[in-house]
Each structure stands twice: as structure tokens, then as C-alpha cells.
Structure 1
Amino acid sequence: MPTSQHEGLHQIFQKDGALAAYAIQRVLGVELPAVEKVSVINSDVTDHQPIERRVDTALVLECEPGSHILIIESQDKRDEDKRRSWPHYVTYMHTKYGCQVSLLVVSRRAGTARWAREPIEIGVPDHSCLTFRAFVLGPDNTPVITDLATACENVVFTVLAALIHGRSRSSDAILEALFAALGTIDVETAGHLAEFTERSLGRTRARQKWRALLTAKARPFVSSIRAEGRAEGRAEGRAEAQTVLARAVLRALGRRHIQVPEAARDRIMECTDLAVLEAWLDRAMTAETLDELFA
């Protein structure tokens, strides 16, 4: 099952359409055509076989003179079965959409990044019918961003750098630079990125550091995160109370041996009015029929 760390390393490219092209040019020195528009496309690359294949993230970069698809894979460890799927992903997308396709691997582990850079040769020695090479971002080539000026140049890229270096000794300094940089952009965007960073750091010491920064230092975007969290907490608590009351009503009816048709069961479980649910629970204690419950 994918972890929040795995998801964060590819979902961040959905947060900022220009990030992928920027990162490839900034880190790898490869300049893609000028990107005019970016959109997320279906990540399903299953063909007519009983095996489902799905990429992590697939983006369409609208360039001149045509589109370019960029597949993004989050890879935490070596997996030869997964690696053998990468050429299929590229050729499938190339066949389906009729445009150029590249694949970017993002990893938090330097060893995994080096492994992912190894070319895949398909064919006979000295005469490959297909040579596959991925773009790869890892802690061995992604810059360690620790000063505010650099962090502010591209805040989303700084988030990516913080995630990639989340296990390194430099993580504290990167997170401090990121926290300061978030204070230079609009509050709503900063709040979303701060929350995304916390979730994507997973169960790491870096996440504890990030939470400490959010707790200790006052910033407008921190207040927005806390307000949103309280609102979500209230909503979750209310939803939980509704579920508990609805189940209690059904349990009480069951103990009184009152048959509850599916439509009535759905009506009880889908009710969002706590006062109504409490009234139904009171009636369920003494009702002889279902009509008495809804009276």
C-alpha cells in the first residue's frame, strides 16, 4: 500500500504544473520545450492483458510544437519488476497519444536513484531494439536548499527538495528555509503547501521538526492550517456522532425484533440531523412498529 511519503513525491508535481520542467532543467540540465499549459491525465496504462498497470502521476505538457507527456514515478527502493515496467509505460503512452514521452523517477534514497539511472537495453548485445533512460531526481543530485533567497526562487521546488532530503542531516536546515519562504507567498497557498509537506514527510524525524516549526513560530499560514484543522475536526466529530446514533437506532430496533427494510435502513444511516436521530433513538426503545419510529 502506498505511503504518504511515496504519494508526496509524485503528487507534488500536480500542485505546480511548471515544477517538473523546472526541476529537470535545474537539476539535470535538460531543457524541455517551453511549457504553455500542464494537465494531469489518466494514469492507467493497462492493455488487453490480465495485469493492471498504473503509473503514479502522468502530466501532459503543452509545448510548442506539440504535447509532451511526462510520467512521474516515486521509487523508494529497488524493484526490478517495477523497473521493467517503465519502458512499457513510455511506449504505451506514446502509442496511445502519439506524442513524445519521458519518465521521471524521484527517490529519497541515493542508492535507489543511482540504480534507476542505469539504462535498460532490450534486444541482443550490440544491437538493442530499445534503449530506455529515465530522468532521475534523488538526494545525490537535488540541491540542498538552506538559504532564504534560494528557497524563495521556487517555493514548490523547495518543498520537493525537503521531501527528497527528508532522511538526510540537512533536513532541519532545509525545513527552516522552507518555513521562512512560505511566509513570503500568499497565505492560502502557503497553508496548503505546509500541510502537504507535513503529510508527505511521513513518520520521520523531519516531520517532527516540521511540526515543531509550525507550533513554535507564528505565521499567518499556520493560523489558517489550525483553523482548517479545527473545522475538519468538528466535521469529523459530527459525522462520527451521526454514525453512532444511527447504528444505535438500528440496534434498538433489532432488539425489539422490528424488521427494517433497506430503504428505511438507508434513511436512518443517511440522516444528518442529530436531533432527529436522538428522537428516533428514544422512540426505538418503545416502538412496536417502524411507522411509530418515523411518526
Structure 2
Amino acid sequence: MHRVFQEDPGVFARTFRRLGLEFADPVSVTQLPSDLTEFKPLERRVDTLMRCDNPDGSSYLLAVEAQGKPDPDKPSSWAYYMAHLYAKYTVPPVLLVVCQDERTARWAQKPFTIGPPQLEAITLRCLVLGPHNVPRVTDEAEAAADIALATLSAIVHAREVDADVILRALATALTKQDEETALPYAELAESGLSSVPAALEIWRKLMTMDISQYQGTLAQRLRAEGEAQGKAEGGIDAVLFVLERRGIALADEQRAHVVACTDSDTIRTWLDRALTASTADEVFAQR
């Protein structure tokens, strides 16, 4: 049934024109290898993959992808994921895409088609969560009632103008939870906010203030970071004060370099040199 198309490839277009699909006669045809077996391993990974079993005995696969921006190469990868998962597990797959900005969410929400204009052979549809449809959890009681949703809300809305309100509601709700519940979600929030520096800074300050009753690893690390930051800021002030009192002027770039430094050992070295140096270059010289 297929060899006739090798003998006369044009029969495909001619036949379907008679059936109402306007395929043009090809001007050239190239025979390609029909063996689609892949011998060279190709690494493809979804961010998260789970099998969900329903009360009625049915199941589905949930593949979750975090997407930071529109990517024209992603739809083909996602289509591969869905086809591969169904072939491997024979369980219907669902693709969920989570975004932190509405532009990316709207892009991911539209159907992606594979095939010529005459026939969309594959249509890929994703479920999408983003700022346009995830609830803003700004109430402490609501956050406490569903910590996971509140955490997702904080991450997804991290770029929004009311992000601080959402973060505070989550932070306050976490103080009402036991350590075993609170710390994993506190860490998830911090990880999810890592691409939004302003929101991450707010979150770390909230955590430093609000989880003092916890003795877990996150709380200890945050306190240690806070103490280190305080020492660094004190050292920076000392370096600038000594140089000013000794009449050693700093270029704008040098001052910015000092202010941005967070390494206590480096700041201590600068302070030692500032006490005896004749010029700013001596303070920052590489030795």
C-alpha cells in the first residue's frame, strides 16, 4: 500500500486534490531513510513527571515544565514528550506549563500545530498557570488554609506590584505551621523567587524576621547570611571612613566596587591596607 508512493510521489497530491485538500504537485522529491530508530542517546527531560490515579480507576501522567520566556524550539520538544510518554506508559499525558509573566503564559496557552496548512497533523495543547489565572493569595488565613497554593501564588506573582503583600501573607502563614511543614515551602518559595531579585530580597528579610522560632537548616542559613551581611556592611563603612579621614579619594568605579562587595575577607584586607596606603590603587591592588 505504500510502495506506489515511492514509484510516483505525485499521486499523493493528485489524489487529495480530488478529495478537497489543495496539495500542490511537488517540483522535486527526495527519498529519506525510513528507519527512525535512534542509536545515539538523546537526553530529553521534563522538569517534573508524575502518575496520578483517579478514584474511578483511571490515570493520567502529569508533566510539569517551568518556562521563563517564549521559546520557538519548545513546542517540538513538548510534542515529543507527550508522544513518548504515551508510547512508553500507555497512559494519557497532560502537560502543565508554569510561568512568572503573562506574556510567556499567553504564548504557552495557545495551541501549537505540527503539519502543513492543509492538515494540522498534531495539535499540542498545554495547561498553563501564570499571573493571569493563579489567584493572588494576600490573606493570611487563606494562605494558611492552602500553603501549597499560597507558595505557588507567591512564585507566580513575584514580578507583580503587590508581590510584597502576597509574600507577607505566605510568611505569616508559615509561622503558624510546624517546622516540618513550613521549612520545605519556605525553601521552595526562595528557589522559585531566585530569578526575581527584588522579590527574593523581600522574602529573605521576611524569613529572617518571621521564622526565628525554627531551628531548621533554612532558618540557620538565613540568620547566618543576615549576620554575614551585617558584618560586610559594617566593614564597607569602615573602609570608606578610613579612606575619607586619610584624604584618599576614590573613583566612582572604586567606590561602587567597595559598596558591592560581600566577601568579609576581601573587605578586611582592604581595611588593613587603607590604614597605611598612600593611594586608592594600593588598597585594591591584586597581590
Place the TM-score, normalised by the shorter chain, in its bin.
Answer: 0.5 to 0.7
Check whether the contact 1:56–1:72 (CA below 8 A) recurs between aligned residues: yes
Distance 1:189 1:229 in 2: 18
SS at match of 2:216: helix
Check whether the contact 2:143–2:169 (CA below 8 A) recurs between aligned residues: yes
Q: How much has 1:86 moved relative to structure 2?
A: 0.7
Q: Which residue of 2 aligns with 1:119?
A: 111
1:97-119 deviation per Cα after TM superposition (whole angstroms, max 9, x unaligned): 00110000001111011000110
Q: Which residue of 2 aligns with 1:209?
A: 202
Check whether the contact 2:208–2:219 (CA below 8 A) recurs between aligned residues: no
Q: How many correspondences in the alignment?
A: 187
Q: Which residue of 2 aligns with 1:156?
A: 148
- Is 1:58 aligned with 2:12? no
Distance 2:154 2:193 in 1: 9
Q: How much has 1:174 moved relative to structure 2?
A: 0.5
Identify if the C-alpha distance between structure 1 residues 52 and 225 changes in structure 2 by more than 3 Å, giving closer, same or farther: closer
SS at match of 2:57: coil
Q: How much has 1:226 moved relative to structure 2?
A: 5.7
Task: State TM-score, norm by structure 2.
Answer: 0.59
Task: State TM-score, norm by structure 1.
Answer: 0.58
Point out the structure with max Rg over C-alpha: 2
Distance 2:219 2:190 in 1: 16
Identity among equivalent pairs (%): 38
Give the RMSD, CA atoms, in angstroms. 2.6
User: Structure 1: which 4+ aligned runs deviate by more than 6 Å?
Assistant: none
After superposition, residues 89-238 of structure 1 pair within 5 angstroms as 89-125=81-117, 127-202=119-194, 204-217=197-210, 219-221=212-214, 223-225=215-217, 228-229=220-221
Distance 1:218 1:125 in 2: 57
Q: How much has 1:200 moved relative to structure 2?
A: 2.7
Relative contact order: is structure 1 or structure 2 higher (C-alpha 8 Å, sep ≥ 6)?
1
Q: How much has 1:178 moved relative to structure 2?
A: 0.2
Mark the runs of 5 or more structure 1 residues left unpaired by the alignment: 1-45, 234-295
Check whether the contact 1:183–1:219 (CA below 8 A) recurs between aligned residues: no
Check whether the contact 1:72–1:104 (CA below 8 A) recurs between aligned residues: yes
Q: Counterpart amino acid of 1:204?
A: P
Segment of structure 1 superposing worse, 118-127 or 87-96: 118-127
